[in-house]
Structure 1
């Protein structure tokens, strides 16, 4: 990792970029709307990778969520941002990146009061091996059958990130890599 601060793209309500800000300063109790992405990684057997957020995370520590999330840098292509973040967060190379929920947007407030406020297109990708995640990002991980994940989120939504539940609810058709 470099010493260069990571910037996020700030957005107007209609999704138009209006500036940038350091990621470290954006997530507060009054988080401005900004650009992000979520990625659901599948393996060759069709299982999806779910991760448990590290206990040291500022928001939603210790909850299970989709494979990984991130923020594209200003002028960075989503596929490049996804590959970069997969490597940084999961130690994993991904390929076959595809759009799944291009218009996904959400706002959620963590128990600590920190707000997520994102236009957050959702993607799928394929990985050919197991992750070796960064300890500051991921506490645990597992590959699960997509139907089993849907059932678990429905039965115990409090154990999962809110955006994962909303993404699964918005997913049309089969929840698999496309």
Structure 2
């Protein structure tokens, strides 16, 4: 089985190396590449997930549909598609870059740190019920946009979800989020 690697970044978002994902998340996690995805259905609902209770970082928190780390050399579209399949058994269409410059640093209750450049993508659901992988996702629920905004006030929501909601809320309903300029992605990541 191959070792999953993350892409390490400098402050300008340029790749400066790779590291094994499993051993990179700790109290001094290096700045690295990630992404977040929000899957939206035709009714404007968003698929919200609760992370598996045995996840190494931020177990059991409610968050966006899917998060992940692009593999070295993997484009954002491919990474999002791969992780949605791995975590939820979902196929999607119309991937749209929404927040290309989102980054954050957050510390979990156990002291483990996330420190990521984490572009945010919206995807359109093509049908088929989510099939959560229990190693990744404890629960998955379709929620209205109003319910998503309310979740941002809940301490059981992930810190990145709360920070992303602060930037997404002014953009209006998820189906109306404008496409961002692809040139704003970090240099280490292609579309």
Q: Which interval holds the TM-score relative to the shorter structure?
A: over 0.9
* Alpha-carbon RMSD: 1.0
In structure 2, how many angstroms separate the alpha carbons of the residues matched to 1:16 and 1:119?
A: 10
In structure 2, how many angstroms separate the alpha carbons of the residues matched to 1:145 and 1:4?
A: 38
Residue in 1 aligned with 2:60?
Answer: 62
In structure 2, how many angstroms separate the alpha carbons of the residues matched to 1:161 and 1:151?
A: 13
The secondary structure found in structure 2 opposite 1:28 is coil
How far is 1:123 from its partner? Answer: 0.4
Deviations 1:68-116 (A, max 9, x none): 1001011111000000000001111111110111100000000011000
Task: Point out the more displaced range, 168-177 or 83-92.
Answer: 168-177
How far is 1:8 from its partner? Answer: 0.8
Unaligned residue ranges in structure 2 (runs of 5+):
178-191
Residue in 1 aligned with 2:183?
Answer: none
Unaligned residue ranges in structure 1 (runs of 5+):
none
The secondary structure found in structure 2 opposite 1:99 is strand
TM-score, structure 2 normalization: 0.88
Task: Point out the more displaced range, 166-175 or 108-117.
Answer: 166-175
Q: Is the 8 A contact 2:34 2:119 kept in 1?
A: yes
Task: Point out the more displaced range, 131-140 or 168-177.
Answer: 168-177
Deviations 1:151-174 (A, max 9, x none): 2322x2x11001001001012321
Residue 144 (str. 1) matches residue 143 (str. 2): yes
Residue 110 (str. 1) matches residue 108 (str. 2): yes
Q: Is the 8 A contact 1:109 1:116 kept in 2?
A: yes
Residue in 2 aligned with 1:168?
Answer: 165
User: In the alignment, which of 42, 47, 50 is matched to residue 49 of structure 1?
Assistant: 47
Q: Is the 8 A contact 1:89 1:138 kept in 2?
A: yes
The secondary structure found in structure 1 opposite 2:37 is strand
TM-score, structure 1 normalization: 0.94
Q: Is the 8 A contact 2:44 2:173 kept in 1?
A: no
In structure 2, how many angstroms separate the alpha carbons of the residues matched to 1:73 and 1:119?
A: 14
The secondary structure found in structure 2 opposite 1:159 is coil
How far is 1:148 from its partner? Answer: 1.6
Q: Is the 8 A contact 1:43 1:129 kept in 2?
A: no
